[in-house]
């Protein structure tokens, strides 16, 4: 589905936001890009959607160089979910969901059916929520609309940039489980960015660990936890796992 071949990004000479990165994302895989603020993970996602251009290297999407695609059709063919959601405040929920189909020439009736389909898919009743404006929804409901809008592109590839980061833990857990069900149901390929280790362990088929623009390790959850490739990866996972162990012991004692 997607290949990054020695991709770099610098905004100033000799100041690299991303050092050479090579990785592949398989069809129907959920790859989590895990890293702290400033690690380069959001930059990497923007390169995949051509919101930014690489300084060197190539990105291959569906066996074609990303630079060979026309920009607007490319972006409309890739679902993108942001942390700040980016819903259009003057449009209804249904209109937000059907934004891309509308731009691609779908009729009003077709857009209504598309909105109904994908709102139901993210557990929002179209009759109850379709006519509302975004500011009438909770944060979790808005994020569900953002996911529905990305799904409505009917893209094979979804890019998700810390989509649940601003939500409370209960809502986040619910949306994580719903995302896993949607992935299984629809067979999507997903690149998911997060700084949350437990979110990465919950969602990922594989995890790519970024730190200061460098790719430290790509692997399964088991390999990342049990066979860390660098001291940074080891330290990154050791502390929260020790905290879990400590909490489990404390709970068992009571």
Tens digit of each residue's pLDDT (9 = 90 or more) over 98-150 = 998 998 889 999 999 999 999 998 889 999 999 999 999 988 888 889 889 98
| Domain 1-77+157-168+189-254, CATH class in plain words | alpha beta
Q: What is the mean pLDDT of residues 89-105?
A: 92
The residues pairing with 219 across neighbouring beta strands, listed in sequence order, are 207
Cα distance between residue 112 and residue 130, in whole Å: 9
pLDDT category at 248 given cuts 50, 70, 90 is low
pLDDT at 38 over 90: no
What's residue 244's pLDDT?
66
Write the pLDDT tens digit of every residue in 199-239.
999 999 999 999 999 999 999 999 998 999 999 999 988 87
Average pLDDT over the chain, rounded to an integer:
88
What's residue 65's pLDDT?
94
CB 125 within 8 A of CB 6: no
What's 74's DSSP letter? Answer: H
Q: What is the mean pLDDT of residues 34-60?
A: 91
- Within the chain, residue ranges assigned H as helices are 41-48, 71-76, 93-97, 99-103, 108-121, 126-129, 139-152, 169-186, 197-203, 221-226, 231-252
Cα distance between residue 8 and residue 149, in whole Å: 30
What's residue 220's pLDDT?
94
CB 67 within 8 A of CB 56: no
The 3-state DSSP class for residue 254 equals coil
pLDDT at 62 over 60: yes
pLDDT category at 37 given cuts 50, 70, 90 is confident
pLDDT at 155 over 80: yes
- Within 130-168, residue ranges assigned H as helices are 139-152
């Amino acid at each position: 589905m997607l290949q990054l071949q020695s991709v770099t990004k610098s905004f100033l000479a000799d100041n690299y936001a991303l050092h050479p990165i090579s990785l592949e994302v398989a069809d129907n895989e959920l790859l989590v890009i895990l890293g702290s603020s400033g690690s380069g993970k959001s930059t990497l996602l923007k390169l995949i959607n051509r919101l930014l251009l690489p300084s060197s290297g190539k990105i291959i999407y569906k066996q074609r160089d990303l630079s060979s695609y026309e920009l607007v059709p490319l972006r409309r063919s890739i679902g993108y979910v942001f942390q700040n959601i980016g819903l259009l405040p003057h449009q209804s929920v249904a209109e937000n969901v059907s934004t891309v189909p509308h731009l691609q020439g779908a009729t009003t009736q077709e857009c209504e059916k598309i909105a109904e389909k994908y709102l139901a898919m993210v557990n929002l009743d179209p009759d109850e929520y379709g006519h509302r404006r975004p500011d009438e929804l909770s944060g979790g409901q808005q994020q569900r609309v953002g996911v529905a809008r990305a799904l409505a592109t009917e893209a094979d590839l979804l890019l998700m940039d810390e989509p649940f980061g601003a939500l409370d833990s209960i809502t986040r857990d619910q949306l994580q489980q719903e995302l896993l069900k949607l992935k299984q149901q629809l067979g999507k390929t997903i690149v998911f960015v997060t700084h949350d280790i437990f979110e990465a362990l919950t969602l990922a088929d594989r995890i790519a660990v970024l730190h200061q623009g460098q790719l430290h390790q790509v692997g399964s959850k088991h390999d990342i936890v049990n066979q860390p490739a660098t001291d940074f990866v080891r330290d990154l996972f050791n502390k929260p796992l020790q905290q879990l162990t400590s909490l489990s012991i404390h709970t068992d004692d009571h």
